[in-house]
Structure 1
Amino acid sequence: MTVLKGARERWVRTGGTELCVAELGDPGRPVVVLVHGYPDSKEVWSEVAVRLADRFHVVLYDVRGHGRSSAPRPLRGGFTLEKLTDDFLAVVDAVSPDRPVHLVGHDWGSVQSWEFVTVERTKGRIASFTSMSGPSLDHFGHWINKRLTRPTPRRVGQLLGQGAKSWYVYLLHTPALPELAWRGPLGKRWPAILRRVEDVPGDGYPTSSLPSDAANGAWLYRDNVRTRLRRPRPDAHAHVPVQLITPLGDKFLSERLYDELEQWVPRLTRRTLSAKHWVPRTRPDRIASWITEFVTAVEVTGEPEPRATGRHAERFGGQLVLVTGAGSGIGRATAFAFAEAGARVIAVDRDPESAASTAGTARLIGAPEAWAETVDVSDEREMEKLAAKVHAEYGVLDVLVNNAGVGLSGSFFDTTSDDWRRVLDVNLWGVIHGCRLFGGRMAERGQGGHIVNTASAAAFQPSRVLPAYSTSKAAVLMLSACLRAELAGQGIGVTAICPGLVNTNITATATFVGVDAAEERRRQKRATRAYGLRNYPPEKVADAILRAVARNEAVVPVTPEARGAHALSRFAPRALRALARLQPPV
Structure 2
Amino acid sequence: MTVLTGARERRVRTGGVELCVAELGDPGQPTVILVHGYPDSKEVWSEVAPRLAERFHVVLYDVRGHGRSTAPRPLRGGFTLKKLTDDFLAVADAVSPDRPVHLVGHDWGSVQSWEFATVQRTEGRIASFTSMSGPSLDHFGHWINKRLKHPTPRRVGQLLGQGAKSWYICLLHTPVLPELAWRGPLGKRWPKILERVEKVPGNGGYPTSSLPTDAAHGAWLYRDNVRARLRRPRTDAYAHAPVQLITPLDDAFLSEKLYDELELWAPQLTRRTLPAKHWIPRTRPDRLAAWITEFVTSVEGGRPRAVTATGKYADRFGGQLVLVTGAGSGIGRATAYAFAEAGARVVAVDRDAEGAARTAEMSRLIGAPEAWAETVDVSDEQAMEKLAAKVAAEYGVVDVLVNNAGIGLGGAFLDTTPEHWKEVLDVNLWGVIHGCRLFGKQMAERGQGGHIVNTASAAAYQPSRALPAYSTSKAAVLMLSECLRAELAGRGIGVSAICPGFVNTNITSTARFAGVDAAEEKRRQKKSARLYALRNYPPEKVADAILRAVVRNQAVVPVTPEARGAHLMSRFTPRALRAIARLEPPL
**TM-score normalised by structure 1 residue count:** 0.99
Measured against aligned partners, the alpha-carbon deviations of 1:456-488 in whole angstroms (never above 9, x if no partner) come to 000000111111000000000010011111100
CA distance in structure 2 between the partners assigned to 1:456 and 1:244 by the alignment: 38
Quote how far apart the aligned CAs of 1:73 are. 0.8
Quote how far apart the aligned CAs of 1:249 are. 0.7
Where 1:507 maps in the other structure, the secondary structure is helix
Aligned to 2:119: 119
Quote how far apart the aligned CAs of 1:574 are. 1.3
Measured against aligned partners, the alpha-carbon deviations of 1:92-111 in whole angstroms (never above 9, x if no partner) come to 11111111100000000000
Aligned to 2:505: 504
Amino acid at match of 1:325: G
Quote how far apart the aligned CAs of 1:2 are. 3.7
Q: Is 1:32 the counterpart of 2:32 in the alignment?
A: yes
Matched-pair identity in %: 83
Measured against aligned partners, the alpha-carbon deviations of 1:248-295 in whole angstroms (never above 9, x if no partner) come to 111100001001000001100000011110000000000000001111
CA distance in structure 2 between the partners assigned to 1:276 and 1:111 by the alignment: 18
CA contact (8 A) 2:398 2:439 kept: yes
Aligned to 1:315: 316
CA distance in structure 1 between the partners assigned to 2:310 and 2:505 by the alignment: 27
Measured against aligned partners, the alpha-carbon deviations of 1:398-449 in whole angstroms (never above 9, x if no partner) come to 0000000000000111000000000000000000000111111000000000
Quote how far apart the aligned CAs of 1:12 are. 0.7
Amino acid at match of 1:426: V
Where 1:58 maps in the other structure, the secondary structure is strand
Aligned to 2:458: 457
Q: Is 1:390 the counterpart of 2:391 in the alignment?
A: yes
Aligned to 2:44: 44
Amino acid at match of 1:55: R
CA contact (8 A) 1:43 1:207 kept: yes
CA contact (8 A) 1:294 1:305 kept: no
Q: How does 1:350-499 map to 2 (within 5 A)?
A: 350-499=351-500
CA distance in structure 1 between the partners assigned to 2:55 and 2:305 by the alignment: 17
CA distance in structure 2 between the partners assigned to 1:415 and 1:561 by the alignment: 26
Where 2:48 maps in the other structure, the secondary structure is helix
Quote how far apart the aligned CAs of 1:302 are. 5.2
Aligned to 1:87: 87
CA distance in structure 2 between the partners assigned to 1:425 and 1:402 by the alignment: 13
Where 1:117 maps in the other structure, the secondary structure is helix
Amino acid at match of 2:78: G
Amino acid at match of 1:192: K
Where 2:374 maps in the other structure, the secondary structure is strand
Aligned to 1:276: 277
Where 2:23 maps in the other structure, the secondary structure is strand
Quote how far apart the aligned CAs of 1:305 are. 6.7
Aligned to 1:569: 570
CA distance in structure 2 between the partners assigned to 1:457 and 1:438 by the alignment: 25
Where 1:103 maps in the other structure, the secondary structure is strand
Quote how far apart the aligned CAs of 1:553 are. 0.5
CA distance in structure 2 between the partners assigned to 1:577 and 1:45 by the alignment: 57
**Do the aligned partners of residues 149 and 316 (structure 1) sit closer, same or farther apart at CA in structure 2, a change above 3 Å counting?**
same
Aligned to 2:200: 200
Amino acid at match of 2:149: T
CA distance in structure 1 between the partners assigned to 2:476 and 2:259 by the alignment: 43
**TM-score normalised by structure 2 residue count:** 0.99
CA distance in structure 2 between the partners assigned to 1:59 and 1:274 by the alignment: 27
Aligned to 1:174: 174
Aligned to 1:236: 237
CA contact (8 A) 2:270 2:306 kept: no
Aligned to 1:139: 139
CA distance in structure 2 between the partners assigned to 1:421 and 1:33 by the alignment: 57
Measured against aligned partners, the alpha-carbon deviations of 1:503-549 in whole angstroms (never above 9, x if no partner) come to 11110000011111111111111111111111111000000000000
Where 1:308 maps in the other structure, the secondary structure is coil
CA distance in structure 2 between the partners assigned to 1:568 and 1:3 by the alignment: 57
Quote how far apart the aligned CAs of 1:306 are. 5.1
Quote how far apart the aligned CAs of 1:225 are. 0.5
Where 1:450 maps in the other structure, the secondary structure is strand
Runs of 5+ in structure 1 lacking a partner? Answer: none
Runs of 5+ in structure 2 lacking a partner? Answer: none
CA distance in structure 1 between the partners assigned to 2:564 and 2:371 by the alignment: 33
Quote how far apart the aligned CAs of 1:385 are. 1.1
CA contact (8 A) 1:41 1:62 kept: yes
CA distance in structure 2 between the partners assigned to 1:367 and 1:302 by the alignment: 17
Aligned to 2:76: 76
Where 1:389 maps in the other structure, the secondary structure is helix
What is the CA RMSD across the aligned residues, in angstroms?
0.8
CA contact (8 A) 2:268 2:306 kept: no
Aligned to 1:217: 218
Where 1:525 maps in the other structure, the secondary structure is helix
Aligned to 1:513: 514
Aligned to 2:107: 107
CA distance in structure 1 between the partners assigned to 2:571 and 2:174 by the alignment: 52
CA contact (8 A) 2:307 2:314 kept: no
CA contact (8 A) 2:307 2:315 kept: no
Quote how far apart the aligned CAs of 1:304 are. 3.8
CA contact (8 A) 2:269 2:306 kept: no
Amino acid at match of 1:225: V
CA distance in structure 2 between the partners assigned to 1:349 and 1:179 by the alignment: 59
More displaced 10-residue stretch of structure 1: 568-577 or 100-109? 568-577
CA distance in structure 2 between the partners assigned to 1:307 and 1:135 by the alignment: 24
CA distance in structure 1 between the partners assigned to 2:139 and 2:308 by the alignment: 24
Quote how far apart the aligned CAs of 1:579 are. 1.1
Aligned residue pairs, count: 586
CA distance in structure 2 between the partners assigned to 1:439 and 1:341 by the alignment: 22
CA distance in structure 1 between the partners assigned to 2:501 and 2:109 by the alignment: 49
Q: Is 1:151 the counterpart of 2:173 in the alignment?
A: no
Amino acid at match of 1:358: T
CA contact (8 A) 2:132 2:246 kept: yes
CA distance in structure 2 between the partners assigned to 1:306 and 1:500 by the alignment: 34
